[in-house]
A and B are shown apart, each in its own frame.
Chain A
Amino acid sequence: DSGVTQTPKHLITATGQRVTLRCSPRSGDLSVYWYQQSLDQGLQFLIHYYNGEERAKGNILERFSAQQFPDLHSELNLSSLELGDSALYFCASSVVSGNPIETQYFGPGTRLLVL
Chain B
Amino acid sequence: GDSVTQMEGPVTLSEEAFLTINCTYTATGYPSLFWYVQYPGEGLQLLLKATKADDKGSNKGFEATYRKETTSFHLEKGSVQVSDSAVYFCALSGPPTNSGGSNYKLTFGKGTLLTVNP
- Residues of A participating in the B interface, judged by any CB pair closer than 8 Å: 2, 4, 33, 35, 42-45, 48, 50, 55-56, 58, 90, 92, 94, 97-109
Interface residues on B, range: 20 to 34
- Residues of B participating in the A interface, judged by any CB pair closer than 8 Å: 31-32, 36, 42-46, 49, 51, 89, 93-95, 101-111
Given A55-B103, A108-B42, 20 more pairs with CB closer than 8 A: A42-B108, A43-B108, A44-B108, A45-B105, A55-B102, A56-B101, A56-B102, A56-B103, A90-B44, A92-B44, A98-B102, A98-B104, A99-B104, A100-B31, A100-B94, A100-B104, A102-B104, A103-B46, A106-B45, A109-B43
A44 to B1, CA, bound (A): 13
Can you list 17 A-B contacts with CB-CB less than 8 angstroms, sorted by A residue number? A2-B45, A42-B108, A42-B110, A43-B89, A43-B106, A43-B108, A50-B102, A56-B101, A56-B102, A92-B106, A99-B104, A100-B93, A100-B104, A101-B93, A106-B45, A107-B43, A108-B43
A55 to B36, CA, bound (A): 23
Chain B, Cβ-Cβ closest to A42: B110
**B104 to A97, Cβ gap below 8 A?**
yes
**B107 to A45, Cβ gap below 8 A?**
yes
Chain B, Cβ-Cβ closest to A47: B105
A42 to B51, CA, bound (A): 24
Shortest C-beta distance, B111 to chain A (Å), equals 7
Inside 8 A of B95's CB, which chain A residues have their CB? 100
Chain B, Cβ-Cβ closest to A99: B104
A74 to B94, CA, bound (A): 23
A95 to B77, CA, bound (A): 30
**B49 to A103, Cβ gap below 8 A?**
yes
Inside 8 A of A107's CB, which chain B residues have their CB? 43
Shortest C-beta distance, A66 to chain B (Å), equals 14
A2 to B45, CA, bound (A): 8
A104 to B102, CA, bound (A): 15
Chain A, Cβ-Cβ closest to B105: A45
Closest 8 CB pairs of A and B: A56-B103, A45-B105, A43-B108, A106-B43, A106-B44, A101-B51, A100-B93, A108-B43
